[in-house]
Chain A
Amino acid sequence: MTDATAAARRPTELWLALGTIAAVSAVYVPVARGGAPAPSGLLGHALGVAGFVLMLFAETGYTWRKNVRREGWGPMRHWLQAHVFAGLVGPYLVLLHTSFRFRGLAGVAALLLLVVVASGVVGRFAYTAVPKRPLALGETATGARRALSVWYLLHVPVAAALFVLAVMHIAAAVYYATLLR
């Protein structure tokens, strides 16, 4: 493995995400000492909106970049790193937005969120474990690559379902908690 390859596979985005999560927690924990801020409050809403924006970027940005096979948009590696960063920090913000109450559609969405994040973390390591060279003629896929194919069927579709439920949740919040007040 060359130094450049090793650097490329160094999980910098993981540490950045964990650092951001720690920073957010440092602000959130003192505020939540008297009780988790309500999702409908100023802080709760801010967490939800910021988390959704990051998750939206995580869901669409990397996929979009993979389909835009042109020069000028930066290396794919950076987009994956941004995808991982946003895919960890965004869900964490959404988790804080829930004030740790899971019920109804929002509860289902939170469950899907957990599945997407967990599968994403696994995929991040499975992805880096798969040889990047193409299979030779007659060569069978390794165990890691077979696992990766299953992961694709879990991570991406569940993320798509999560996106739909998140949009419905937002629409319902606007309808019931804003328009119907």
Chain B
Amino acid sequence: MPTPTSLTRWAAGAAAFAAVAALAAWLATGGGIFSPGALHAGRAGGAPIGGVASHAELAGECAACHAPPVGAERMADRCLFCHTEVRAELGDTTALHGILPDAERCLACHVEHRGARGVLTEFTGEGFAHERLGFSLAAHQRTVDGRPFSCSGCHAGERFRFEEARCVGCHTEYQRAFVAEHVRAWGDGCRACHDGVDRFSDFRHDSLVFRLTGSHARVECVLCHAPVRTLAAFAEAPETCVGCHRDDDAHRGRFGADCAACHGTTAWEDAELDHTFPLDHGGEGVIPCVTCHTQMSAAPRPRGGSAGGPDLSGFRAYTCYGCHVHAPARIREEHLDEGIRDFRNCVSCHATGTKDEAEDSGGDRDRGRDDGRGRGRGRSGRGGREA
């Protein structure tokens, strides 16, 4: 057994040998023996950066990245010296490095010496305002199966590029039919409408001005909103009947654009004409509209005619002289004899056209002049013949 003294000598000798060998290796490798791992060998693509195609070409040149401990220069300065594309992003609030907190501290996110194919970025996302890039992560905290999202889940490839095919790919996994139909209808430019704020999952169209009642509740969105491709464009959808139904108009525009005067939203066939004057007046059965509404043309209005507001003037005007043989001059004389100076609006006194109706209603003999107002839809015209 060696004596304590000889053992100490052995130990001291071994320690000295280790120190000398390590120092020699340090000099021989340019500090490489202290490298905790191989540098990344991946190529960023394009032209070399800082004269090298990858960090791996800097192996043994520690000082290429490690700034000396004295002086104001830091390692990040050396990063940005070569990575000018990142340096350019620092002042751009729409770019990744322009909105990262403390973006000039490269080592807060980036690592090295993790091997030729090791990771270069360990980004936790803490404090990162992703919504400033136009897409909030409010609705993307966890995947559908409960796992937290990772950056690479949406950003594939270099420099966090985003491909919207990722949206479609993930959402198709659990909404296959819906996504297929959604993409067919609206396209695959998801971010044109979706900004990550979960405003569509509980969307109710009835909260808008145009409520989807009747058959409107069953039609596909694109029938009114095509070919919308942006969120703002949704607001530009037509809000009038003729905006969508001009080509469906069986009246060819003759009844104007106030469809709701007769039609509801369930079906065209359920139209209810509020014709206040009896249509069977005189026992003539169904008679042509132009019998009373003489200003209406029997010929259809050409397609593409004016749709600016109701065009019911032809129906609002009517004349009783189309059937009644009374000459206007005689009617005038008879009414003036009765002290009725306003006789142009026949239905104001002869509301249903029945005999003695005017006398029963008491007549407004003292009315000095016609105020020109009807008593409701269909009565606003004047009873006298109009030019």
Smallest Cβ-Cβ distance to B2: which chain A residue: A152
Residue B27 lies at the interface, judged by CB distance under 8 Å to chain A = no
Residue B217 lies at the interface, judged by CB distance under 8 Å to chain A = no
What's the dominant secondary structure at chain A's contact region?
helix
Contact stretch, chosen from A23-31, A49-57, A81-89, A101-109: A101-109
Asked whether B19 lies within 8 Å of A168 as measured between CB atoms, the reply is yes
Asked whether A172 lies within 8 Å of B34 as measured between CB atoms, the reply is yes
**Binary interface encoding of chain A residues 97-117 relative to chain B, with 1 for a CB under 8 A from any of its CBs, else 0:** 000010111101000000000
**Binary interface encoding of chain A residues 141-161 relative to chain B, with 1 for a CB under 8 A from any of its CBs, else 0:** 100010011001100111111
Asked whether A103 lies within 8 Å of B75 as measured between CB atoms, the reply is no
A44 to B157, CA, bound (A): 29
Residue A181 lies at the interface, judged by CB distance under 8 Å to chain B = yes
Asked whether A157 lies within 8 Å of B33 as measured between CB atoms, the reply is no
**In the complex, which residues 1-24 of chain B have their Cβ closer than 8 Å to any Cβ of chain A?**
1-2, 4, 7, 10-15, 17-19, 22
**Binary interface encoding of chain B residues 29-73 relative to chain A, with 1 for a CB under 8 A from any of its CBs, else 0:** 101111111100000000000000000000000100011110000
Interface size on A, residues (CB 8 A): 37
Asked whether A105 lies within 8 Å of B11 as measured between CB atoms, the reply is no
Known: A105-B22, A168-B19, A176-B62. A156 touches B35 (CB 8 A): no
A165 to B314, CA, bound (A): 105
Asked whether B13 lies within 8 Å of A157 as measured between CB atoms, the reply is yes
Known: A39-B36, A104-B34, A169-B34. A175 touches B11 (CB 8 A): no
Asked whether B12 lies within 8 Å of A160 as measured between CB atoms, the reply is yes
Residue B192 lies at the interface, judged by CB distance under 8 Å to chain A = no
Residue B183 lies at the interface, judged by CB distance under 8 Å to chain A = no
Residue B25 lies at the interface, judged by CB distance under 8 Å to chain A = yes
Chain B residues contacting A164 (CB-CB under 8 Å) are 15, 18-19, 22
Residue A179 lies at the interface, judged by CB distance under 8 Å to chain B = yes
Known: A157-B10, A164-B19, A172-B34. A149 touches B69 (CB 8 A): no
Residue B96 lies at the interface, judged by CB distance under 8 Å to chain A = no
Residue B111 lies at the interface, judged by CB distance under 8 Å to chain A = yes
Chain B residues contacting A172 (CB-CB under 8 Å) are 34
Asked whether B18 lies within 8 Å of A156 as measured between CB atoms, the reply is no
Asked whether B1 lies within 8 Å of A145 as measured between CB atoms, the reply is yes
Asked whether B11 lies within 8 Å of A160 as measured between CB atoms, the reply is yes
Asked whether A153 lies within 8 Å of B18 as measured between CB atoms, the reply is no
Known: A104-B36, A106-B36, A165-B18. A180 touches B68 (CB 8 A): yes
Known: A149-B2, A152-B1. A105 touches B25 (CB 8 A): yes
A168 to B26, CA, bound (A): 10
Chain B residues contacting A161 (CB-CB under 8 Å) are 14-15, 17-18
Known: A153-B2, A164-B19. A103 touches B11 (CB 8 A): no
Chain B residues contacting A153 (CB-CB under 8 Å) are 2, 7, 10
Smallest Cβ-Cβ distance to B23: which chain A residue: A168
Count, A-B residue pairs, CB within 8 A: 88
Residue A79 lies at the interface, judged by CB distance under 8 Å to chain B = no
Asked whether B11 lies within 8 Å of A156 as measured between CB atoms, the reply is yes
Asked whether A103 lies within 8 Å of B35 as measured between CB atoms, the reply is yes
* Minimum Cβ distance to chain B for residue A98 (Å): 9
A105 to B38, CA, bound (A): 13
Among A108, A156, A180, which residue has the most Cβ atoms of chain B within 10 A? Answer: A180
Residue A12 lies at the interface, judged by CB distance under 8 Å to chain B = no
A165 to B18, CA, bound (A): 7
Known: A152-B7, A159-B11. A180 touches B66 (CB 8 A): yes
A101 to B69, CA, bound (A): 27
A157 to B7, CA, bound (A): 8
Chain A residues contacting B26 (CB-CB under 8 Å) are 105
A152 to B18, CA, bound (A): 18
* Minimum Cβ distance to chain A for residue B32 (Å): 7
Chain B residues contacting A169 (CB-CB under 8 Å) are 34
Smallest Cβ-Cβ distance to A98: which chain B residue: B36
Asked whether B35 lies within 8 Å of A149 as measured between CB atoms, the reply is no
Residue of B18, B32, B36, B62 near A40 (CB, 8 A) is B36
Chain B residues contacting A101 (CB-CB under 8 Å) are 36-37
Smallest Cβ-Cβ distance to B11: which chain A residue: A160
Known: A103-B37, A156-B7, A180-B69. A38 touches B111 (CB 8 A): yes
Residue B74 lies at the interface, judged by CB distance under 8 Å to chain A = yes
* Minimum Cβ distance to chain A for residue B196 (Å): 26
A150 to B57, CA, bound (A): 45
A148 to B19, CA, bound (A): 27
A181 to B67, CA, bound (A): 7
Complex A-B, nearest 6 residue pairs according to Cβ-Cβ distance, in ascending order? A157-B14, A161-B18, A180-B66, A160-B11, A179-B69, A172-B34
Apart from A103-B38, A108-B22, 15 more pairs, CB < 8 Å: A104-B34, A108-B33, A149-B2, A152-B2, A156-B7, A156-B10, A157-B14, A160-B11, A160-B12, A161-B17, A165-B22, A168-B22, A173-B34, A175-B69, A180-B62
Q: Hey, which bits of chain B sit against chain A, CB under 8 A? A: 1-2, 4, 7, 10-15, 17-19, 22, 25-26, 29, 31-38, 62, 66-69, 74-75, 107, 111, 114
User: Can you list 17 contacts pairing A with B, beta carbon distance less than 8 Å?
Assistant: A39-B36, A66-B4, A101-B36, A103-B37, A104-B34, A105-B26, A105-B34, A157-B11, A157-B14, A158-B14, A161-B18, A162-B18, A164-B18, A168-B19, A173-B34, A176-B31, A181-B75
